[in-house]
């Protein structure tokens, strides 16, 4: 009889799975390799997950919980939109260093190599950030921090696109090279410069609405 795994061990297996799927994609990833690296048998993995697709989905949802916590931490509190933006950029940088496989796995889904998973997971993945960003943009508009004449959902979409590309630029081979070409060889290592310039761009693009000039009678 197989011994029940602790929550910590399950998390370790999922983290190992994320790394393997990020490196090889869902089709080429090997459950035997994942089990061996996790220090369990293949039978244990299949006791908890019906097949490789079910295990892949469990890895994705594990990563989503981490993403949701990071976004919640970044947007909580009554602070300015620039502070929230800074927290999110720093969360991207931290994730790229501590959990690069998460970003690579996300890229695998968005790039089409995991096409069969996209319909099921697009809404589940994107609604986390879409709702959080739209909410704090609405608050910022109400306080006059950003233009009131912008559509908050499109604003959230454009903002998330910036963060998504930053994620890929820190974690995915092609986009890392693209980052170096655009920004210089040393920029990837200069987190503070990236934060400062991101916020400068963000503030310029989505600045406070100017007062309207009253019409002459």
Q: At residue 113, what are phi and psi to the nearest 5 degrees?
A: -70, -20
Contact present, 55 and 66 (Cβ < 8 Å): no
Residue 11 in any domain: the answer is: no
Q: Give the span between the Cα atoms of 62 and 18, in whole angstroms.
A: 9
Q: Average model confidence (pLDDT) for the chain?
A: 87
Task: Check pLDDT > 60 for residue 211.
Answer: no
Residue 2 in any domain: the answer is: no
From the list 26, 202, 19, the residue with the least C-alpha distance to 108 is 26
70 vs 117, residue with greater confidence: 70
Q: Give the span between the Cα atoms of 79 and 73, in whole angstroms.
A: 12
**pLDDT on residue 217:** 44
> Percentage of residues in the chain with pLDDT exceeding 70?
92
User: How does pLDDT run across 138-184, given as a tens digit for each residue?
Assistant: 999 999 888 888 899 999 999 999 999 999 999 989 999 999 999 99
Q: What confidence category does residue 100 fall into, taking pLDDT thresholds of 50, 70 and 90?
A: confident
Residue 80 in any domain: the answer is: yes
Residue 211 in any domain: the answer is: no
**pLDDT on residue 36:** 94
Contact present, 82 and 140 (Cβ < 8 Å): no
Mean pLDDT of 15-26: 90
Task: Check pLDDT > 90 for residue 106.
Answer: no
Instruction: Please give the tally of structural domains in the chain.
Output: 1
User: How does pLDDT run across 48-83, given as a tens digit for each residue?
Assistant: 999 998 999 999 899 888 888 888 888 888 889 999
Tell the burial category of 161 from Cβ atoms under 10 Å away from its Cβ (0-12, 13-18, 19+). exposed
**pLDDT on residue 122:** 84
Domain encompassing residue 107:
65-205
Mean pLDDT of 18-33: 90
Residue 175 in any domain: the answer is: yes
Mean pLDDT of 185-205: 92
**pLDDT on residue 66:** 86
Residue 46 in any domain: the answer is: no
**pLDDT on residue 119:** 76
**pLDDT on residue 113:** 63
């Amino acid at each position: 009889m197989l011994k029940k795994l602790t929550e910590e061990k399950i998390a370790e297996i999922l983290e190992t799975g994320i790394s393997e799927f990020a490196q090889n994609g869902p089709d080429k990833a090997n459950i035997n390799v994942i089990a061996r690296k996790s220090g369990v048998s293949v039978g244990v993995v299949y006791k908890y997950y019906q097949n490789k697709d079910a295990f892949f989905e469990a890895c994705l949802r594990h990563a989503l919980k981490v993403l949701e916590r990071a976004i919640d931490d970044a947007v909580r509190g009554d602070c300015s939109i620039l502070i929230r933006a800074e927290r999110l950029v720093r969360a991207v940088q931290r994730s790229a260093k501590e959990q690069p496989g998460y970003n690579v796995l996300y890229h695998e889904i968005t790039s089409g190599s995991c096409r069969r998973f996209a319909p099921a997971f697009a809404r589940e993945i994107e609604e986390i950030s879409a709702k959080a960003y739209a909410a704090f943009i609405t608050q910022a508009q109400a306080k006059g921090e950003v233009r009131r004449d912008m559509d908050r959902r499109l604003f959230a979409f454009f903002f998330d696109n910036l963060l998504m590309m930053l994620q890929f630029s820190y974690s995915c081979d092609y986009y890392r090279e693209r980052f170096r070409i655009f920004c210089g060889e040393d920029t990837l290592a200069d987190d503070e410069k990236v934060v400062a310039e991101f916020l400068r761009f963000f503030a310029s693009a989505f600045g406070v609405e100017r007062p309207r000039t009253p019409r002459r009678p």
